[in-house]
Amino acid sequence: MKEHLINFSAKLQSANFQKTYPLDYCIPVYHAVSNFHLPHLKHIIKYKSEKEFEKDLDILSKNFQFVNWDEFKDFRNGNFKPKKKIALLTFDDGLSEFHDVVVPILERKGIYAINFINPKFIGNTDLMYRCKASLLIERIVQSEKKPLNVFDDIIYNDQFKKLLIRKINAIKYSEPEKLDDLAKNFRESFSDYLIKYKPYMTFEQLKKVTQKGFGISNHGFDHPLYHELNLEEQIRNTSQSYDYLNENDFITESFAFPFTDFGVKREFFEKIFSTKDLFCSFGSAGLKRDSFEKNLQRIPMENGKDTNQILKEEIAYFNLKKLLNKNTIHRK
């Protein structure tokens, strides 16, 4: 019912987002841009091709004024008056495509972006657990070409494949050993994959993109789902990443939640903003306000749709929720 209402309302929305967009800022979030098959992302992110990404940028540029980090802070402080509503382009996870693909496109178009990284994975020393899950799911999908080890007799049954994929998708951040054990049975080596494909930026590449004027900031140390952590663990994970950024002269004034800020209590925000030099934090719940005013919501752009459709649906949903006084996230 909700999807039907949003889709119907979106059809009525104008593509002139300068007039219809309800907030004075737009914060899109991406992870990777690639024309190639990326097994570690394929089953968790619908990443866009270079052509699709450039089309997104053209639509956003037409309707918003892209700003850099300092301009964004000045705007929020009332010290910068843009010609249009502003857009801050963000990326998550510090993936190598940002250095190899995204930065050259943005340099050509004169657009700034900030990338929120997990220090644990820099230099390809490890792979985020959901990326490991994506690799294992790809092995299941491709199992007819390269049979799995312990399931050779039954893996070709589609129902079993679907069950196995559901089980893998249910594995949590706190259960990494389950993924490692499955990898052995699946004849999959995460370490070999990291060496061969290098999915994350190296420290040298991080420094290179900052020298080009782009931002690197805090995404937690190892990409946990924050509402599954207690307050002490949340603070520790955030601070561990903050310390890495501070030691290496990256941006420490911002923090973007891995996955989502859903279920994170006000106590975390009050604690982290009182102990660190944070200017703001970012969720990824789409076009919404937040009762903690320094926590700003971003719009996920990797759902298989183009920017026009994404923004129309976000605006439609925002307006529907506004009728019920439910377009603000309230923190307990």
pLDDT tens, position by position, 174-208: 999 999 999 988 888 999 999 999 999 999 999 99
2-11 and 307-323 helices cross at what angle (nearest 10)?
110
More confident position, 154 or 49 = 49
Which residues are CB-contacts of 320 (< 8 A; sequence separation ≥ 6)? 5, 6, 9
Which residues are CB-contacts of 175 (< 8 A; sequence separation ≥ 6)? none
Helices (H), the chain: 2-11, 17-20, 39-42, 50-63, 69-76, 96-97, 103-109, 129-141, 158-169, 176-185, 190-197, 203-211, 231-247, 266-275, 307-323
- Clarify whether residues 191 and 203 are in a common domain: no
Q: What is the pTM of this model?
A: 0.94
- Clarify whether residues 181 and 316 are in a common domain: no
- Clarify whether residues 37 and 168 are in a common domain: no
**pLDDT at residue 186 in the model:** 85
- Clarify whether residues 135 and 269 are in a common domain: no
Rounded to an integer, what distance in angstroms lies between the CA atom of residue 206 and that of residue 117? 10
**pLDDT at residue 143 in the model:** 76
**pLDDT at residue 145 in the model:** 60
- Clarify whether residues 226 and 263 are in a common domain: yes
Mean pLDDT of the 137-145 span: 83
- Clarify whether residues 152 and 263 are in a common domain: no
- Return the closest-CA partner of residue 86 out of 98, 69, 99: 69
Mean pLDDT of the 205-231 span: 98
State which of 168, 195, 222 marks the end of a domain: 195
- Clarify whether residues 234 and 283 are in a common domain: yes
Question: What confidence tier does 142 reach under pLDDT thresholds 50, 70, 90?
Answer: confident
**pLDDT at residue 14 in the model:** 76
State which of 170, 195, 220 marks the end of a domain: 195
- Return the closest-CA partner of residue 141 out of 43, 27, 16, 233: 43
**pLDDT at residue 1 in the model:** 63
**pLDDT at residue 150 in the model:** 56
Range of the domain at 183: 129-195
Q: Report the CATH number that the domain containing residue 244 is assigned in CATH.
A: 3.20.20.370
The residues facing 116 across adjacent strands are 92, 217
Question: What confidence tier does 16 reach under pLDDT thresholds 50, 70, 90?
Answer: confident
Residues 28-60 have pLDDT tens digits of 999 999 999 999 999 999 999 999 999 999 999
- Clarify whether residues 37 and 176 are in a common domain: no
Residue 150 is given by DSSP the state: T
C-alpha to C-alpha distances, 320 to 108, 134, 165, 287, 316, nearest whole angstrom = 38, 34, 35, 12, 6
**pLDDT at residue 84 in the model:** 95
Residues 298-308 have pLDDT tens digits of 999 999 999 99
State which of 160, 175, 195 marks the end of a domain: 195
Mean pLDDT of the 78-92 span: 97
Q: Count other Cβ atoms within 10 Å, centred on residue 234.
A: 22
Return the residue matching tokens 């893998």: 168
Torsion of CA 294, 295, 301, 303, to 10 degrees: -160
Q: What phi and psi, each to the nearest 5 degrees, are found at residue 37?
A: -75, 120
- Clarify whether residues 213 and 284 are in a common domain: yes
Total domain count, the chain:
2
Query: What percent of the chain lies above the pLDDT cut of 70?
Result: 93
- Clarify whether residues 40 and 151 are in a common domain: no
- Clarify whether residues 59 and 147 are in a common domain: no
**pLDDT at residue 159 in the model:** 83
| Coil vs helix vs strand at 86 | strand
- Clarify whether residues 27 and 6 are in a common domain: yes
**CB-facing half-sphere around the CA of 195: CA atoms within 13 A:** 4
